[in-house]
Chains A and B, each alone.
Chain A
């Protein structure tokens, strides 16, 4: 039946071979009191053509980004995926493979991940990177857990410029694990250096700043880094828009100890926010503390000097450290990491730079056009990359209704997450927006 290849006849023969006559006999160890003696209450099986129709119908109830224009960023960024990426990423030897614990038959995946690790270092300017983590938020958590150390106690100072969802996740983990979190406010769109200085003490375990921050603003890392490092804190930078690394100084240059973030937008479908692709890169001194999987280069045992790749430093991982682990992560986002690797290879040195330029220029063009409109003004004066906040003349709900009527998806309303910003909207413009798209948005805003 469906993907079960053995027929009832095959299965009967197998039962007989092992001296049984029915499936029931195999279930003898299961006590009657726990046996489900009714069919599961689920919809009946559907053959493939019917299921396709059903799912296509369900999918059509979603407005997809190919059929509309969107100015949403807020942690999830639309970057065009070159056709080579899915053609290679979806090869079934990658898709249907298991974690490469038997390296001799997994050199393809292992090498691809080694390349991913290398590329993450190349774009962040740090020394080492792992094979990826579940998503940006949990990557941030992992960095914080590393900084806090075994025992799980300590204080984490985090800017309110960090994505609100990530902060909510941090609070959830802090409560469970036992460390504390102190938030630092934003002034004029960026982390207040004075408030940060007040918050960070000699015993702070970690300082977390997002670059660019949730508002799209570029943080002044030259002012922040010395504050973050005045004690023993680990300086963690969070990056949700990796295209910014084509234009902005990378973490390695501004003194971050660990860089984490979300890089799903490189080569992978957005898919309503998941599966995602968290990354972590760090200075080499953190190597033996890095959570997650690591791929290393080595040679054959035989002495042949033939290069090969293996999962290494596995004693950090849960399956060996068990209760002494500082992380419980088992899965990495391998297939998405392969997608990001192929994407970065396809863009290459020049393309990555160009991606940043396009996002920067298009966003600034949109900014200039929008702020020239009567009733719309920039919320902040701080520099930005491809996202910016606009104070709008009507409620954001009303604005969203206009967008719906105009058939587009506008920006992100900030009121829900930032009290006092109910008339503020976060607009993102990536390389996927044409001048025409931007002018159309401006037209819609003008009519309000």
Chain B
């Protein structure tokens, strides 16, 4: 298999694929409707290809792409679980797919009902008073959550609070979201022994900044896959200092039916439906990042919110304290249909079993890999854990990146590498609950083989991958001389 030419390099003048509807109305000259100088002079130079060329081209592209349906994705913090086909079928039902966001409410009762019910399910799962399904993705949800916290503080005369505490092992979206809410991020150290927040450092920060703490953003289990058992104490300390607790739901796959962020003391929660609720990642999107809040933050939620009355379901305008809107329309409905179907497929017992199985699969892998790879935190993990290629790096210079690339040769995707930042040569592994034991054993055997190769034949690992359509690509060139689009006459080597 080779790299495919670009669609722009295919076809011929005059070719086309789609045929349009008929021009069945009497027409007038364009210049009589629109002043000539407002009209486009040259047609957009889109490709001119026939239908069979379109089909072969994008089919070939799909064949040069790896998905969960192809193989195992042990990506830590991404929860690459199986994407149920039932969910796909439900999302494309015309009654869900072919509806306009602004059509009269009486003609969209099923849609508003789905919003209404899904909100309640997620509120129950999270232990929160109310949910908004508006945010488009996790990072979007984070920013929305921080905006809510900000509005809350302002309403209490505490608008001067401008600091957000973030653990040193947090995902990059956390400090970025804080900046967009005009907050300053302050790093909280994590305890090297437990991976949990270092309580003494937290206390020191809270003491020296008491008046200015707006919030702490954290996730539990944390990004090392470890449950911070001091979470109630952390909540108490932050609340006493006048701050709010924000829960990053990226790791929610570990807690379904086991514990709830609301019960841990969190005030705001976001979910990543494309992680926890099996909606497909689509190569980078779409996702959905609903936010849950405790009662004291409900009046600040963006609107409108789905409501149920005597006449049926309707969209209720939020009150005057609402932060407004964070996107056009009411949410990523197509994604929400999938998440709704998923939750109804499992029910309460099923969701508990999802988390239990995810935790078991992670601990199983951690156990099996321990003889060949240094496990950063050997204690019982939750749904993910961090292994490292430290041993390999020391012995023969084989890095986490090299191990990741070599895995691609065996029909599997790599774990998350170089995250969290505090662990050197990190390989963050999250198998999820949807993998068979045999797949996990196969992954272990391949990792063992790679460890062996790092010993006896490091070059084969350092030069990997060997069996993919392209080898390692020159990232430095891509960044130094960016080529972000095709132009006619551009020389593309194949």
Assuming the A-B contacts A35-B259, A61-B109, A351-B16, are A66 and B45 also in contact, with contact meaning beta carbons closer than 8 angstroms in the complex?
Answer: no
Considering the chains assembled together, what is the distance between the CA atoms of A127 and B184 in angstroms?
34
Contact A409–B284 (Cβ < 8 Å): no
Contact B18–A84 (Cβ < 8 Å): yes
Interface residue from B43, B256, B404, B494 paired with A352 (Cβ < 8 Å):
B43
Contact A358–B99 (Cβ < 8 Å): no
Contact A253–B41 (Cβ < 8 Å): yes
Contact A105–B413 (Cβ < 8 Å): yes
Contact B470–A330 (Cβ < 8 Å): no
Q: A13-B437, A119-B46, A287-B482 known; 11 other A-B pairs, CB under 8 Å?
A: A4-B433, A43-B347, A94-B61, A95-B83, A95-B88, A103-B473, A111-B4, A137-B325, A270-B98, A272-B329, A346-B16
Q: Which residues of chain B come closer than 8 Å to A205, judged between CB atoms?
A: none
Assuming the A-B contacts A274-B329, A298-B478, are A347 and B18 also in contact, with contact meaning beta carbons closer than 8 angstroms in the complex?
Answer: yes
Tell me if A348 is interfacial: C-beta within 8 Å of chain B.
yes
Q: Which residues of chain B come closer than 8 Å to A58, judged between CB atoms?
A: 95, 110, 113-114
Assuming the A-B contacts A63-B108, A169-B325, are A40 and B474 also in contact, with contact meaning beta carbons closer than 8 angstroms in the complex?
Answer: no
The total of chain A residues at the interface (CB under 8 A) is: 215
Closest 8 CB pairs of A and B: A59-B95, A273-B329, A335-B282, A273-B101, A45-B347, A108-B65, A172-B324, A275-B286
Q: Which residues, 81 to 134 on A, are CB-close (under 8 Å) to B?
A: 82, 84, 86-88, 90-100, 102-109, 111-115, 117-119, 121-123, 127-129, 131-132, 134
Tell me if A344 is interfacial: C-beta within 8 Å of chain B.
yes
Considering the chains assembled together, what is the distance between the CA atoms of A233 and B117 in angstroms?
45
Tell me if B311 is interfacial: C-beta within 8 Å of chain A.
no
Tell me if A448 is interfacial: C-beta within 8 Å of chain B.
no
- Which chain A residue has the least Cβ–Cβ distance from B235? A34
Contact B344–A29 (Cβ < 8 Å): no
Tell me if B308 is interfacial: C-beta within 8 Å of chain A.
no
Q: Smallest distance from the beta carbon of B376 to chain A beta carbons, Å?
A: 16
Contact B139–A305 (Cβ < 8 Å): no
Interface residue from A2, A97, A336, A400 paired with B104 (Cβ < 8 Å):
A400
Assuming the A-B contacts A334-B284, A348-B16, are A318 and B172 also in contact, with contact meaning beta carbons closer than 8 angstroms in the complex?
Answer: yes
Assuming the A-B contacts A248-B39, A322-B175, A328-B179, are A93 and B350 also in contact, with contact meaning beta carbons closer than 8 angstroms in the complex?
Answer: no
Considering the chains assembled together, what is the distance between the CA atoms of A406 and B327 in angstroms?
33
Contact B325–A172 (Cβ < 8 Å): yes
Considering the chains assembled together, what is the distance between the CA atoms of A13 and B136 in angstroms?
40
Interface residue from B282, B350, B364 paired with A45 (Cβ < 8 Å):
B350
24 pairs, A vs B, C-beta closer than 8 Å: A20-B363, A29-B227, A58-B114, A78-B100, A93-B70, A95-B280, A95-B283, A104-B468, A106-B283, A118-B8, A138-B136, A165-B325, A169-B325, A222-B37, A274-B330, A276-B332, A299-B474, A329-B139, A338-B282, A338-B283, A345-B58, A349-B16, A349-B48, A404-B104
Q: Smallest distance from the beta carbon of A372 to chain B beta carbons, Å?
A: 13
Stretch at the interface among B140-148, B237-245, B390-398, B448-456: B140-148
Interface residue from B43, B284, B354 paired with A131 (Cβ < 8 Å):
B284
Assuming the A-B contacts A65-B98, A129-B485, are A327 and B17 also in contact, with contact meaning beta carbons closer than 8 angstroms in the complex?
Answer: no
Q: Which residues of chain B come closer than 8 Å to A273, judged between CB atoms?
A: 100-102, 328-331, 333
Assuming the A-B contacts A273-B101, A318-B176, are A128 and B485 also in contact, with contact meaning beta carbons closer than 8 angstroms in the complex?
Answer: yes
Contact B91–A176 (Cβ < 8 Å): no
Q: Which residues of chain A come closer than 8 Å to B422, judged between CB atoms?
A: none
Tell me if B371 is interfacial: C-beta within 8 Å of chain A.
no
Considering the chains assembled together, what is the distance between the CA atoms of A298 and B147 in angstroms?
39
Contact A324–B179 (Cβ < 8 Å): yes
Assuming the A-B contacts A72-B102, A328-B143, are A308 and B3 also in contact, with contact meaning beta carbons closer than 8 angstroms in the complex?
Answer: yes
Interface residue from B34, B55, B66, B347 paired with A106 (Cβ < 8 Å):
B66
Interface residue from A54, A117, A137, A293 paired with B328 (Cβ < 8 Å):
A137
Q: Which residues of chain B come closer than 8 Å to A157, judged between CB atoms?
A: none
Contact A274–B350 (Cβ < 8 Å): no
Contact A342–B477 (Cβ < 8 Å): no
Considering the chains assembled together, what is the distance between the CA atoms of A151 and B156 in angstroms?
25
Q: Which residues, 437 to 494 on B, are CB-close (under 8 Å) to A?
A: 437, 465, 468-475, 477-479, 482-486, 492-494
Tell me if B193 is interfacial: C-beta within 8 Å of chain A.
no
Q: Which residues of chain B come closer than 8 Å to A447, judged between CB atoms?
A: none
Tell me if B94 is interfacial: C-beta within 8 Å of chain A.
yes
Q: Which residues of chain B come closer than 8 Å to A260, judged between CB atoms?
A: none
Assuming the A-B contacts A51-B344, A249-B40, are A59 and B110 also in contact, with contact meaning beta carbons closer than 8 angstroms in the complex?
Answer: yes
Q: Which residues of chain A come closer than 8 Å to B346, judged between CB atoms?
A: 2, 45
Interface-central residue, B16, B82, B125, B143, by most chain A CB under 10 Å: B16
Q: Which residues of chain A come closer than 8 Å to B6, judged between CB atoms?
A: 111, 114-115, 118
Contact A365–B282 (Cβ < 8 Å): no
Tell me if B7 is interfacial: C-beta within 8 Å of chain A.
yes
Contact B24–A435 (Cβ < 8 Å): yes
Contact A319–B173 (Cβ < 8 Å): yes
Interface-central residue, A10, A122, A248, by most chain B CB under 10 Å: A122
Contact A138–B327 (Cβ < 8 Å): yes
Assuming the A-B contacts A247-B40, A318-B176, A355-B20, are A40 and B348 also in contact, with contact meaning beta carbons closer than 8 angstroms in the complex?
Answer: yes
Contact B284–A99 (Cβ < 8 Å): yes
Contact A63–B359 (Cβ < 8 Å): no
- Which chain A residue has the least Cβ–Cβ distance from B317? A416
Q: Which residues of chain B come closer than 8 Å to A343, judged between CB atoms?
A: 18
Q: Smallest distance from the beta carbon of B415 to chain A beta carbons, Å?
A: 10
Considering the chains assembled together, what is the distance between the CA atoms of A298 and B44 in angstroms?
26
Interface residue from B54, B347, B363, B437 paired with A88 (Cβ < 8 Å):
B54
Interface residue from B34, B258, B337 paired with A248 (Cβ < 8 Å):
B34
Q: Which residues of chain A come closer than 8 Å to B208, judged between CB atoms?
A: none
Tell me if A188 is interfacial: C-beta within 8 Å of chain B.
no
Contact B33–A364 (Cβ < 8 Å): yes
Tell me if A313 is interfacial: C-beta within 8 Å of chain B.
yes
Q: Which residues of chain B come closer than 8 Å to A166, judged between CB atoms?
A: 328
Contact B16–A59 (Cβ < 8 Å): no
Tell me if B198 is interfacial: C-beta within 8 Å of chain A.
no
Tell me if A198 is interfacial: C-beta within 8 Å of chain B.
no
Considering the chains assembled together, what is the distance between the CA atoms of A413 and B5 in angstroms?
48
Contact A176–B150 (Cβ < 8 Å): yes
Q: Which residues, 18 to 75 on B, are CB-close (under 8 Å) to A?
A: 18-21, 23-28, 30, 33-35, 37-41, 43-49, 51, 54-55, 57-70, 73, 75
Q: Which residues of chain A come closer than 8 Å to B434, judged between CB atoms?
A: 3-5
Interface residue from A67, A105, A135, A350 paired with B65 (Cβ < 8 Å):
A105
Interface-central residue, B24, B283, B435, B493, by most chain A CB under 10 Å: B283
Interface residue from B107, B180, B479 paired with A312 (Cβ < 8 Å):
B479
Contact B484–A247 (Cβ < 8 Å): no
Considering the chains assembled together, what is the distance between the CA atoms of A320 and B175 in angstroms?
10
Considering the chains assembled together, what is the distance between the CA atoms of A138 and B139 in angstroms?
12
Contact A334–B98 (Cβ < 8 Å): no
Q: Which residues of chain B come closer than 8 Å to A78, judged between CB atoms?
A: 100
Considering the chains assembled together, what is the distance between the CA atoms of A372 and B194 in angstroms?
77
Q: Smallest distance from the beta carbon of B3 to chain A beta carbons, Å?
A: 6
Contact A274–B21 (Cβ < 8 Å): no
Tell me if A46 is interfacial: C-beta within 8 Å of chain B.
yes
Contact A39–B257 (Cβ < 8 Å): yes
Tell me if A210 is interfacial: C-beta within 8 Å of chain B.
no
Q: Smallest distance from the beta carbon of B323 to chain A beta carbons, Å?
A: 5
Q: Which residues of chain B come closer than 8 Å to A65, judged between CB atoms?
A: 94, 98-100
Contact B259–A36 (Cβ < 8 Å): yes
Interface-central residue, B25, B69, B360, B363, by most chain A CB under 10 Å: B25
Q: Which residues of chain B come closer than 8 Å to A300, judged between CB atoms?
A: 470-474
Interface residue from B180, B287, B332 paired with A176 (Cβ < 8 Å):
B180
Q: Which residues, 309 to 324 on A, are CB-close (under 8 Å) to B?
A: 309-310, 312-313, 315, 317-324
- Which chain B residue has the least Cβ–Cβ distance from A11? B360
Interface residue from B58, B356, B414 paired with A102 (Cβ < 8 Å):
B414
- Which chain B residue has the least Cβ–Cβ distance from A165? B328
Contact A245–B27 (Cβ < 8 Å): no
Contact B473–A301 (Cβ < 8 Å): yes
Considering the chains assembled together, what is the distance between the CA atoms of A175 and B363 in angstroms?
45
Q: Which residues of chain A come closer than 8 Å to B24, judged between CB atoms?
A: 434-436
Contact A98–B110 (Cβ < 8 Å): no
Contact A94–B67 (Cβ < 8 Å): yes
